[in-house]
Amino acid sequence: MSTRPKPQKARARTGASARGPRPGVSAVFLDRDGTITEEMGYINHLDRTQVYPWAAEAIRKLNRAERPVIVVTNQSGVARGVFTEDLLHEVHRKIAFELAAQEAKLDAIYYCPHHPDGRIEAYRVKCLCRKPATGMVMDAARRFRIDLASSYVIGDSYRDMQLGFNAGARTILVMTGYGRGEYEHQRHRWDRLPDRIAEDLLAAVEIVLGEGARRGPVPRRRVAASRDL
């Protein structure tokens, strides 16, 4: 499922050629909690949503570089009956409003409200969208004509990195939210390390834009088997 406030055409693509199909655009997929907003556990009230002070600048830089910015977030609190989908929409409106006040814009927000053990029957399902499954990314890739191999997944948990591996995208782990703790105490259990580590979302975006400037041929990545922590 996804929040689709305004249907939009995909942004301008570079490298379009009359000789062949237009290449897809390089997007940036962002986790929400611990990446854009403070990791606060279940966000069961609007007051618990705190956008990091550097998030708007980071997202604005991506907007200006014409990279689609797409949030992909697991919100199993809906399935668990901790909060409703309506509240989730309110939270997303609040985040969008705060970012807009600083001239930053999310192109789309995709969320997974499901959980296989959820208390609310309508959401109790083993779905294809709960990260590290790639349903949300694949939906966005079709909608925005995204080239996944040159796109990034940025998040604060290994599950986000697994999403990136599964989608064949590049991965950056941020040290905000659960990031530092997972990196320092869990990484010996990881099958594969993130491509890059960044202090926070702004630092991660600097990496994305720096690599974009000198982007060459992108090596094909193997797709790692997904595994829950």
Residues with a known catalytic role: 31, 33
Nearest residue (CB) to Zn ion, 130 versus 145: 130
Give me the phi and psi of 103, to 5 degrees please: 60, 35
200 near Mg ion, rule: CB under 5 A: no
Least gap, CB of 15 to Mg ion (angstroms): 32
Q: Compute how many residues bind Mg ion; rule: CB under 5 A.
A: 4
Nearest residue (CB) to Zn ion, 87 versus 125: 125
Cβ atoms of 181 and 112 within 8 Å: the answer is no
Nearest residue to the partner Mg ion, using Cβ: 34
Chain contacts with Zn ion (rule: CB under 5 A): 112, 114, 127, 129-130
Name which of Zn ion, Mg ion, none residue 91 binds, using a CB cut-off of 5 to 8 Å depending on partner kind: none
Name which of Zn ion, Mg ion, none residue 31 binds, using a CB cut-off of 5 to 8 Å depending on partner kind: Mg ion
Least gap, CB of 14 to Zn ion (angstroms): 32
Cβ atoms of 111 and 2 within 8 Å: the answer is yes
Least gap, CB of 133 to Zn ion (angstroms): 8
Q: To the nearest 10°, report the CA torsion of 132, 136, 141, 144.
A: -140
33 near Mg ion, rule: CB under 5 A: yes
Strands 28-30 and 69-74: parallel
Residues that bind Mg ion (CB under 5 A): 31, 33-34, 156
